[in-house]
Structure 1
């Protein structure tokens, strides 16, 4: 356990919202974490919203917190987090959960060689959600999650990062070994970028499928990052 108060900021991925953390937050609180969640504006149904609007939402949230924080980003959420985290003095660690770890001057679609949707599209389509996101999630929770998915602005996948905060902030990657949503290209690149790598069984949404195991993994990787960085631990 890290010394002193522990605040974990949760940043959801595309098409999702803060609701996706409902099963995970109680497990984190049982382990001594205080949590808060960012609601990315690109999923509010505004098709003109871009990645930099999401990054500003992350910035404002982090600026509102007094004291050191760890940020956990899921999937696309890794992009706006990487864009702003190292400009804020209270961010001590980053945890990328099945998340993008892009370089500066890269966008999600440029790394793929182009978008999977028409350039004029206002919202981005996703794969069938039960298979892509929730194939190992209990049926009741999977059905609730599908019903709560929101339109996702397509622009966020075209906008380029200008920074790569994982290069300067101690960062961990949690890989989901049966992830049917994250392209293998991104996972393989992230494996070379993170300071600490851990694996979980199952699919893209362990916060719904196995929240106990995910909370344990978050505890373990943040402890390891703190040890590597020389932060005092009990």
Structure 2
């Protein structure tokens, strides 16, 4: 059986993987869900990468899965010998020597572009989303009660990582798959998948889901992760 390290994206936390964890552990796999300090003002790539590497400590043959924002961190963790393969799920994909904000709005679909232009920030400089926007962008394909449950758990997000220049990627490379979600309203899967192919040599898969398949179709996503891990 395999070991999966599942990393959450912006505004979320380790909780978002609880439904996928249930299906993976039922099949005998080990699941680790690190908590990124993404709600801590001033935290950025170094702090997030440290949290991922802590999760990899004393492990081997790990399938590292990164959702959304954590795609800016996970490729840097592939230098860790514990990582066997990398799966980028509806993820942002970094380009070495380029800061994410230099991409402008190009990596995002129209629904998200408008929201980013009108983002709210708290007194600590963290971005926040109101419930209606979060539901529309992240959970539009979920049942209303499921959407409400998830949205109630969202938290402010530090914005430092988007301003930081991505360093050179590790020389060590692992098999990488980019999973694009066809109904994604938060991330342009086609744009980011193309970068993943160019920079990481990734294969590309599609899932007929919105941005949060870990919540809308956890069993189907779990099966896909296992399938990709065993190829």
Match of 1:135 among 137, 140, 151: 140
Q: Equivalences for 1:70-149 in 2 at 5 Å? A: 70-86=63-79, 88-112=80-104, 116=117, 122-126=125-129, 128-149=133-154
Equivalent position SS for 2:127: coil
Kindly provide the CA deviation profile for residues 38-65 of structure 1, in whole angstroms up to 9, marking residues without a partner as x.
100122xx211112211111112212x3
Q: Distance in 2 between matches of 1:99 and 1:190?
A: 9
RMSD: 2.5
Confirm or deny that 1:48 pairs with 2:53: no
Match of 2:10 among 1, 9, 14: 14
Q: Which range moves more in the overlay, 102-111 or 47-56?
A: 102-111
Contact 1:133–1:203 under 8 Å retained in 2? yes
Pairwise CA distance, 1:84:
2.6
- Equivalent in the alignment of 2:52: 58
Confirm or deny that 1:218 pairs with 2:225: yes
How many residues get paired? 216
- Equivalent in the alignment of 2:166: 161
Q: Distance in 2 between matches of 1:124 and 1:100?
A: 17
Confirm or deny that 1:173 pairs with 2:181: no
Uncovered stretches (5+) of structure 1, i.e. residues with no partner: 225-234
Contact 1:94–1:166 under 8 Å retained in 2? no
- Equivalent in the alignment of 1:231: none
Contact 1:59–1:85 under 8 Å retained in 2? no
Uncovered stretches (5+) of structure 2, i.e. residues with no partner: 107-115
Contact 1:55–1:81 under 8 Å retained in 2? yes
Structure 1 residues 122 and 166: alpha-carbon distance in aligned structure 2, compared to 1, 3 A threshold: farther
Q: Equivalences for 1:28-43 in 2 at 5 Å? A: 28-43=24-39
Kindly provide the CA deviation profile for residues 162-196 of structure 1, in whole angstroms up to 9, marking residues without a partner as x.
13359811111111001000035324433554532
Equivalent position SS for 2:64: strand
Contact 1:96–1:173 under 8 Å retained in 2? yes
Q: Distance in 1 between matches of 2:212 and 2:171?
A: 22
Q: Distance in 1 between matches of 2:171 and 2:150?
A: 29
